[in-house]
């Protein structure tokens, strides 16, 4: 009977689930995934490769749901920690703003500081922001096999207000400049992709090819997309990008020709097909500095594959290749061969920023930021002409100072064209958060307004070096301590790449079309601090153990010694040394008198030796006890 009921109920449950899926899933927007690769020759004979993957999850009216393409681990982070927006980057090498560009969408969004950078905006009450941040760092640390959990300490993160470029009162920012980037971080990052690195464009990510580059940065950006309808939650947009700067394997022949290359020579692999789960898979080639050469075969260069579309923006051409038709028999291997010498320059930010240390010694010093005008300064738009008709360039400076670098904010000095500026015409706004010893790091946000004709500007601030407890030093303390990179942003300048065509079906170009804030990161500073002699604890432990061994050894020897046995031993020893004739006479005399044989001389000698031994033992015990008491007195902190 039970089997009959079960046989009838199972088909009914399956039919009901199918009907509910049709009813509720007919109007549901499906998840979308797209992949793309942008290749760009650089003026210094290198090649830029930018992988971009976009994964969209539509809004849902249910608290928990099953994801087909969107990674479940990221969705759980959003739901558990109430993350509104987040960005995580792993970077090795420093972006060269002079040769690789600083005023385009690619460099503004993907030129990151060395090490690990994490910032997040939470949708929780103010009292729970720090707790959510700490939990998020632990979760990301386990997810990406990195030391991101070191950012949980209040001395490792800050809460910027406006200097970071995003106005959010629930924003937390942290950086780990010394974090090493390796394949252990790239493998979990690739596992978030639907096809991982097995198929599609992601199959080009050969580990040796990626990590031999001059610069590589893997980035993960998560944002929430509002649905605008009541009863529906927010959708999720996950962007994963990998930016690599490679040197083509070509021999320099002494000519000014740019090196020729192909996908197989750069990555050691070819594209044998797109990811079957991707909605779009495209490869882009961006050529800059061209006047009228838009053909894929011309007198200046030649492409190995004919592009599907060609777009143009001023002197920049974009060649679009669709890899849907590629297969194992006909793989896609884009190649570029130069025929004539070509020189061009990438557009730079209004001011080039660099940071360095001043002073000497282990007591105090100064931090300086130098801003130099670039060649493209006069061509930039977006200047502020509302200040009495005067042309100005606004720049925001955001810096974080560890607590062991005690900054004196009243020593801030600003120099414009090597002349000190004491008025408030340059410094328009400043926000300072002093550090607390072993509790929180310091932060400084500044808004500068410089004239457009400025050649150079410098900012300096003095600091004292603090002292750390011996437990707070890292294993390589003699190497120095890192100060995270400073962020320089220009709020009046935004970069975009607009080809004046409908690009809604091309996610990467749609992203570049959006205006992004122009910003750049400075160098990481290495500050040497006073380090103790780490061999001293070993010496202290050694001499302490030696003194205690002598003390307790002598004490135990004195407590366990038997005086009677020693006296009998000494008597027998003295008797053996006495002459035979004298011993016979003493025995004969004792027998006549009827008394036992005794040896007065041996007894006196034994008593004398026993007294001498007792005095020596007592002197040793007193000496050792005195030394131990003196050592204990001077070694104890008063």
Domains of the chain: 57-247 (no CATH), 258-340 (no CATH), 351-381+389-470+481-527 (2.60.40.740)
> Is the pLDDT score of 288 beyond 90?
no
Does residue 615 surpass a pLDDT of 70? no
**What is the structure's pLDDT at 64?**
55
The answer on pLDDT for 570 being more than 80 is: no
Task: Decide: helix, strand or coil at residue 458.
Answer: strand
Cα–Cα dist 245/570, whole Å: 90
User: Percent of the chain, pLDDT > 90?
Assistant: 46
- Quote the pLDDT of residue 638: 46
Task: Please compute the mean of the pLDDT values over residues 202-216 and round it to a whole number.
Answer: 92
How remote is the C-alpha of 462 from its chain's centroid? 26
Name 398's Cβ contacts closer than 8 Å, sequence gap at least 6: 160, 163, 164, 165, 443, 444, 445, 486, 487, 488, 489
Cα separation of 386 and 163, whole Å?
A: 22
Which tokens in the block code for residue 75?
């969705």
Residue of 161, 52, 53, 40 whose CA lies nearest to 104: 40
Average pLDDT over every residue of 159-172: 83
pLDDT at 432 exceeding the cut of 60: yes
pLDDT of residue 345: 83
> At residue 467, what are phi and psi to the nearest 5 degrees?
-115, 135
Look at residue 65 in the predicted model and tell me its pLDDT: 65
The pLDDT of residue 2 is 42
What local confidence, expressed as pLDDT, does residue 20 receive?
Answer: 43
Displacement of CA 308 from its chain's centroid (Å):
40
- DSSP character string of 486-548: PEEEEEEEEE----SS--TT-HHHHHHHS-EEEEEE-PPEEE------TTHHHHHHHHHHHHH
Q: Answer yes or no: are the C-beta atoms of 195 and 275 closer than 8 Å.
A: yes
369 pLDDT more than 70: yes
Q: What is the pLDDT of residue 620?
A: 73
Mean pLDDT of the chain: 83
Average pLDDT over residues 19-38: 66
Is the predicted pLDDT of residue 252 greater than 70, yes or no? no
pLDDT at 300: 83
User: Which residue would you say has higher pLDDT here, 376 or 436?
Assistant: 436
Query: pLDDT higher for 552 or 265?
Result: 265
The two structure tokens encoding residue 450 = 């410089």
Written as six digits, the tokens of 537 are 């604890």
Cα(353)–Cα(331) distance, integer angstroms: 43
Of the candidates 292, 301, 299, 289, the one whose C-alpha atom is nearest the C-alpha of residue 334 is 301
Q: Check whether 289 has a pLDDT greater than 80.
A: no
CB 489 within 8 A of CB 519: yes
Read off the pLDDT of each residue in 403-427 and give the average, rounded to a whole number.
Answer: 90
Sheet holding 335-338, edge to edge: 261-262, 335-338, 301-303
Q: In this predicted structure, what is the pLDDT of residue 21? A: 46
pLDDT digits (tens, 9 = 90+) for 455-514: 999 999 999 998 888 888 888 888 889 999 999 999 988 888 777 665 556 888 888 888
Report the pLDDT averaged over residues 543-557. Answer: 85
Beta pairing class for 280-287 and 32-41: parallel
pLDDT (mean) for 428-457: 92
How much is the pLDDT for 216? 94
């Amino acid at each position: 009977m039970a089997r009959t009921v079960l046989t009838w109920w199972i088909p009914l449950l399956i039919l009901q689930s199918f009907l509910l899926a049709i009813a509720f899933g007919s109007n549901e927007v499906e998840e979308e995934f797209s992949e793309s690769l942008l290749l760009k020759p650089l003026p210094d004979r290198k090649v830029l490769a930018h992988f971009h993957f976009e994964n969209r999850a539509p809004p849902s009216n249910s608290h928990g749901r099953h994801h087909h393409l969107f990674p479940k681990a990221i969705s759980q982070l959003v739901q558990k920690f109430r993350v509104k927006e987040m960005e995580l980057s792993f970077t090795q090498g420093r972006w060269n703003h002079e040769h690789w560009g600083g005023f385009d969408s690619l460099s503004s969004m993907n030129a990151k500081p060395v090490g690990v950078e994490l910032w997040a905006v939470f949708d929780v009450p103010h009292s729970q922001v720090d707790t959510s941040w700490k939990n998020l760092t632990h979760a990301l640390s386990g997810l990406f096999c990195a030391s991101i959990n070191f950012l949980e300490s209040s001395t490792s993160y800050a809460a910027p207000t406006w200097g970071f470029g995003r106005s959010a009162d629930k924003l937390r920012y942290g950086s780990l400049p010394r974090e090493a980037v390796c394949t252990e971080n790239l493998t979990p990052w690739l596992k978030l992709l639907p096809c991982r690195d097995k198929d599609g464009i992601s199959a080009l990510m050969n580990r040796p090819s990626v990590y031999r580059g001059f610069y590589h940065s893997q980035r993960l950006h998560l944002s929430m997309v509002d649905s605008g309808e009541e009863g529906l939650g927010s959708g999720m947009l996950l962007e994963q990008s990998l930016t690599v700067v490679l040197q083509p394997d070509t021999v320099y022949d002494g000519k000014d020709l740019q090196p020729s290359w192909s996908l197989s020579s750069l990555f050691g692999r070819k594209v044998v097909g797109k990811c079957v789960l991707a909605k779009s898979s495209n490869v882009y080639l961006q050529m800059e500095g061209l006047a009228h050469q838009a053909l894929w075969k011309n007198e200046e260069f030649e492409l190995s594959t004919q592009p599907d579309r060609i777009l143009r923006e001023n002197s920049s051409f974009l060649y679009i290749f669709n890899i849907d038709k590629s297969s194992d028999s006909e793989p896609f291997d884009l190649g570029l061969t130069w025929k004539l010498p070509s020189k061009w320059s990438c557009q730079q930010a209004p001011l080039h920023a660099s940071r360095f240390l001043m002073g000497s010694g282990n007591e105090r010093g100064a931090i300086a930021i130098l801003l130099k005008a670039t060649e493209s300064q006069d061509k930039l738009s977006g200047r502020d002409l509302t200040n009495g008709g005067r042309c100005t360039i606004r720049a925001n400076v955001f810096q974080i100072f560890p607590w062991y670098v005690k900054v004196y904010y009243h020593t801030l000095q600003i120099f414009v064209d090597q002349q000190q500026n004491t008025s408030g015409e340059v410094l328009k706004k400043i926000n300072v958060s002093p550090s607390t010893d072993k509790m929180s790091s310091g932060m400084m946000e500044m808004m500068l307004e410089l004239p457009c004709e400025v050649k150079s500007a410098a900012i300096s601030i003095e600091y004292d070096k603090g002292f750390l407890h011996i437990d707070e030093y890292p294993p390589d303390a003699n190497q120095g301590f890192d100060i995270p990179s400073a962020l320089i942003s220009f709020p009046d300048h935004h970069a975009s790449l607009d080809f004046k065509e409908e690009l809604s079906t091309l996610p990467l170009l749609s992203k570049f079309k959006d205006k992004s804030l122009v910003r750049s990161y400075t160098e990481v500073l290495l500050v040497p601090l006073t380090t103790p002699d780490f061999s001293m604890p070993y010496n202290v432990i050694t001499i302490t153990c030696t003194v205690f061994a002598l003390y307790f050894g002598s004490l135990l020897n004195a407590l366990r010694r038997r005086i009677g046995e020693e006296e009998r031993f000494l008597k027998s020893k003295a008797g053996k040394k006495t002459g035979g004739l004298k011993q016979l006479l003493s025995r004969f005399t004792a027998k006549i008198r009827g008394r036992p044989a005794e040896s007065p001389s041996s007894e006196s000698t034994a008593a004398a030796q026993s007294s001498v031994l007792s005095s020596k033992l007592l002197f040793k015990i007193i000496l050792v006890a005195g030394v131990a008491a003196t050592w204990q007195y001077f070694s104890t902190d008063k």
